[in-house]
Chain A
């Protein structure tokens, strides 16, 4: 199981260092703090919208996941700053990750 194979299946997992327990983002094979091996943590993760803008009909948001790291994700409804969201859809298309939140 790798991060990208999980993403390809639409499953968002968080890479965590098996040695120091730090969450490692962006996903890599080894921890960027202690170089320990990474395992993947499954869960129902929460995010918080910290900024957003809109292109055409879609909002794009800066989202902080579990008060730890950030991703940019698409949202169809107008977000609010500090709104709590969850990743509703994710995957890899043409080599690019994509995330949708609601």
Chain B
């Protein structure tokens, strides 16, 4: 199996702009190619598009828009987890020898149809993500005796960290009181506990070991991949206060990378709602069950940026198909020491956690210098 590395990336600001999906895909790809002149675009032999948008044939459309004729071109959709699923597909094409340079481009509009899984009728009329997030939050608080104020710290931290990310949708910091006083969505969820669906794009180039040195002096290797699907329906989750798919995917990825959890210097975790960050930290193994909020508080008070340095989904916004790619770009920048004023000190190994529909499925990537 060939080794695979991340060679280049491009990203757009995350916003509420009303743009065509094709334009968003084009913008982050253009950004990538303009910032990486060593990449000869005609050498891109595969183009994968990650989105929940219902438009058809987007990968050939993107290919034609940038003037290339790749061997392989198609879309990948897996709700909020589409971005890292696309990266895993790109990894697989290269590792198997079917491709050498793969462009993965993710994009979403603020009004993405991927927010609602219509099929999941077990949820009755409660299909919007705020309802699974409320059940998660209620269960997590009940199980571990956690308060709303402790969970609000996730939003405080991630909005604060987003201020160092020029592409983040959040332009403001908040206090715990601000979060607590923000609009009540349910008994267990305030507006500032939620990530925002938004418009945004992110693109990445993966390349094989024999090509990568021609493209970049700072390749970031994908050394671990872990994925797990428990179900499609939310009600099939075994627990509502832990993330089983994340735990399994994390163990798989760390095993593949020959790493232990203490080797991880920086991580992007899928904080779609406040409660998701401590649950993810615990499932990955960075904190004991019920102690994730304690870790979040400590990180914030010590200005330690190791979890969600770009501001997470809560601070950055959540353009579904682009999110996993944007998370991967952040860890790549961190490992390349190019994260500017949000740089974690000298990281060697990073982790990306991306999930769908209340952690019914998860993807974990381990990245290394």
Contact = CB atoms under 8 A, between A and B. Distances in A.
Interface string B55-98: 00000000000000000000000000000000000000000000
Contacts of A50: 240
A94 B159 CA distance: 37
Interface stretch (A16-24, A34-42, A52-60): A52-60
A52 B188 CA distance: 10
For the side of the interface on B, what is the size category? 20 to 34
A60 B131 contact: yes
Contacts of B135: 51-53, 60, 62, 72
Contacts of A55: 131, 134, 185-187
B187 A26 contact: no
Interface residues of A, number: 23
Contacts of A72: 122-124, 126, 131, 135, 234-235
B142 interface: yes
Interface string A75-102: 0000001000000000001011111000
Contacts of B234: 72
B125 A54 contact: no
B126 A97 contact: no
A25 interface: yes
A74 interface: yes
A60 B118 contact: no
B158 interface: no
Contacts of B126: 60, 72
B139 interface: yes
Contacts of A31: none
B127 interface: yes
Given A72-B124, A73-B124, A74-B124, A51 B131 contact: no
B154 to A, nearest CB: 18
A76 B235 CA distance: 21
Contacts of A99: 124
B352 to A, nearest CB: 29
Contacts of A98: 124-125
B233 A26 contact: yes
B77 to A, nearest CB: 20
A50 B135 CA distance: 10
Interface string B169-182: 00000000000000
B124 to A, nearest CB: 5
Nearest to B185: A55
Nearest to B120: A26
B360 interface: no
Interface string B238-280: 0010000000000000000000000000000000000000000
B197 interface: no
B121 interface: yes
B235 to A, nearest CB: 4
Contacts of A54: 186-187
B122 A53 contact: no
B302 to A, nearest CB: 33
Nearest to A98: B125
Contact of A53 (B124, B186, B233): B186
A69 interface: yes
A51 B240 contact: yes
B332 interface: no
B137 interface: yes
Given A51-B135, A53-B138, A70-B122, A96 B127 contact: yes
Given A71-B123, A72-B124, A73-B124, 17 more contacts: A25-B122, A26-B120, A26-B121, A51-B142, A52-B135, A52-B138, A53-B131, A55-B185, A55-B186, A62-B235, A69-B235, A71-B122, A71-B124, A72-B126, A97-B121, A97-B122, A98-B125
Interface of B: 118, 120-127, 131, 134-135, 137-139, 142, 185-189, 233-236, 240
Interface of A: 25-26, 50-55, 60, 62, 69-74, 81, 93, 95-99
